[in-house]
Amino acid sequence: MKKTIWYRLTLNSAEVAAGEVEKRKAAFDEAFTAARAPRMMALFQQSRQDGGIDLFLTPECIDDAPQLIDEWGCTPCDRPSMAGLFLLVGHNEMTYYMP
């Protein structure tokens, strides 16, 4: 059975202003590289109207970067809407294969 649970980390506007997006992106990039850049492992961001940002980790991250999901306190969620979704780390073609 294919995994369909995504993971979300919500950052408020103060966290965004403090550079949390960049810190999380760097940590994810390290995990991505350590896992040998799996095709379906990716980190996305989506801006919110309140100035915050939601970061989304693909379902495969539970296998390839479980420590980040745990450390960051990510919550399980459905696949995010493609509207305003921006790939931060991962392969560009990932958006064609989104589970």
Q: What is the pLDDT of residue 97?
A: 62
Determine the 3-state secondary structure of 62 from DSSP. Answer: helix
Q: What is the pLDDT of residue 92?
A: 87
**Structure pTM?**
0.92
Q: Any idea which residue has 């990510």 for tokens?
A: 74
Instruction: Give the residue extent of every domain in the chain.
Output: 6-90
Looking at residue 2, its amino acid is K
pLDDT in tens, the chain (99 residues): 455 899 999 999 999 999 999 999 999 999 999 999 999 999 999 999 999 999 999 999 999 999 999 999 999 999 999 989 999 999 988 766 665
